[in-house]
Chains A and B, each alone.
Chain A
Amino acid sequence: MEVKLVLTRTELNEYIKEYTGRSLSACMQCGLCTAVCPMSRFMDVHPAALIRLLQVSDVDISKLKAIWVCTSCMTCVDRCPRDVAPGMVIETLRLLALRRGIEPRSYSEMPIDINTPTLLLVSYSRKLTG
């Protein structure tokens, strides 16, 4: 069976509603999420732009780098004045990608040594391998 990676705007909005209980259409593009995001400078599409992209267009989730950069620090979720919670939206896209078999990196590439804390391995696995 072919895995569908390009999701239509309608599908994405429905998924996000189901996964987060929030609505993308509430976003007014104030940009606060991008301003407070400690990771935005490392993203290909910063949080506010990502919300806009999802509002207006179909998206190939395999091509988004930003969804693997977010650390779920929850700063944008707490501060979003319209309760869109971009961190939860990004987590939704991450889960949609992982559940379609896309993994950004393999374990064999990880620089693990005897001093690597267990917490680091556990949290990494949770976020980047589902």
Chain B
Amino acid sequence: MKTLLYYPGCSIKKDFTDIEKASMSLLSALGYTVIEIENWYCCGGFSSITLLDHVKQVGAFRTLSIASKQSIKLSTNTILTLCPFCYNVLKRASTLQVNEPGVYRRVAEYLKDDVEPYSGGLSIIHLVELLVAELDNLKKLVKNSLKGLRIAAYYGCMLLRPKNVAIDNPENPLSIEKVLEVLGAEPVDFPYKTYCCGAFHTLGEAEIVSYNSTKIIKSAIDAGATIIATPCPLCLYNLQRYSPYVEAGIKVLHLVDVIAHAIGLHSINKLINLKINSK
């Protein structure tokens, strides 16, 4: 049995509970024991990208310190994330000591009465990375092959940039395509798979999100896709909400929903109104 520490994050815990549930079943079927970090803090969504913005490191730093202690008890060194934002922030915080020692020292000093400084040793991974390492085992779990479905993998930003935290080649990632292939689907290549959907502008300048999301979806349609699968909750929300093309037939789904259907956890037939042949 392989043990993983698990960092859920806000949206998976509150808005996408079905994704969390399906992910846990998937991981259990792959032979993993998943244990939630006992006292995790909000990652804040965006890491600090300048050198003088220490407050944005505090939540992640605290979480890593706590997880570090728990990891020794559980004899694991891996933290699993389901949300690309959480992945990005935690991964960057975990490399702070090496990449930005000055920032690391100041954050550690600020938190010194609170937690012991995180001193490395944890590996932060995203679900997609784990699945790519488990392709053979994932293949064995497939009950409803997605044969005949043309699916576009949309990555968004947070799993790929900045390049020093990327889970794959940031210019042409293929991780999700590998997963889709194992499920029997036909991955569709399209040029906007790493293009920003507009992110938080939904709350202020929705026309930005509408413009970019529409561009992404149109490009996937032109490439022949009938489904777009994304691992990011915010991309999912934006793409589903802001493109008229979604009304016209293409479906935007969370990657975990697609996998859950293929391995028989729950059906996406209702979500996609398509008949999928069983194997």
Contacts and interface: CB of A to CB of B under 8 A. Distances in A.
B80 interface: no
Contacts, number: 116
B203 A19 contact: no
Interface string A67-95: 00101111101100000000110011001
Interface in B8-25: 9-11, 14-16
Interface bracket on B: 35 or more
Given A120-B203, A128-B204, A91 B15 contact: no
B200 A120 contact: yes
Give chain A's interface secondary structure class: helix
B45 A119 contact: yes
Give chain B's interface secondary structure class: loop
Given A20-B51, A118-B11, A123 B196 contact: no
Contacts of B194: 75
A119 B234 contact: yes
A14 to B, nearest CB: 12
Interface bracket on A: 35 or more
Given A110-B204, A122-B45, A117 B233 contact: yes
B203 A122 contact: no
Interface in A19-60: 19-21, 38-39, 41-42
Given A71-B196, A123-B199, A126-B46, A18 B204 contact: no
Contacts of A109: 204
Contacts of B101: none
B140 to A, nearest CB: 33
A96 B51 CA distance: 13
